[in-house]
Structure 1
């Protein structure tokens, strides 16, 4: 169950990064509220997960999901490059997060 909470933390971090992008292009209160909401939920979920998962593992998985997810969102919705090296290294980030789960 704790790993699911950690995955939610990473997903909300990814949504928070996306909300920052929206806010930089469209400075509205709604976008600012999205940043605060998504990162707030992300930090709460991360702190819950860190009660049973080691801090180093939880933080690495959390940032990995956020980084890989942000890059994937950028490729899907913001016309960022979709070349092989980029996809390869995103896959390495995801594989590393899975590997940390496997050895924990």
Structure 2
């Protein structure tokens, strides 16, 4: 169950990043509320995940999900620039997160 909580925490992190991008691009203050809610949910699920997963592993995987998800969402929905190296290092982040899961 801890890994499910960690995955949900990572998804909430991605949604928070999307809300942050929308705040910057539109200036609508409603996105501040969305950011606060999403990051509170993200931290809440992260704390639940840490009850069964070591802190270092949980934090590394959580940040990996958020970083990888942010890059993927940026490329797909916000038409951000892509390159071989961007996807190479994205693969390393994902591969490292999966490796940490198998080690714990």
TM-score range, shorter chain: over 0.9
Structure 2: 5+ residue stretches without partners: none
Structure 1: 5+ residue stretches without partners: none
Q: Give the C-alpha shift of residue 22 in structure 1.
A: 0.6
Relative to the length of structure 1, the TM-score reads 0.95
Mapped partners of 1:25, 1:88: distance in 2:
28
Residue 89 of structure 2 is matched in structure 1 by 89
Tell whether 2:20 aligns with 1:42. Answer: no
Residue 10 of structure 1 is matched in structure 2 by 10
Q: Give the C-alpha shift of residue 47 in structure 1.
A: 0.5
Q: Please tell me the root mean square deviation across aligned C-alpha atoms, in Å.
A: 0.9
Which whole-Å deviations, capped at 9, do the CAs of 1:9-48 have from their partners, x for residues lacking one? 0111111111111111122232111101111110000000
Which whole-Å deviations, capped at 9, do the CAs of 1:51-99 have from their partners, x for residues lacking one? 1110000000000000010011110111112221111110110010000
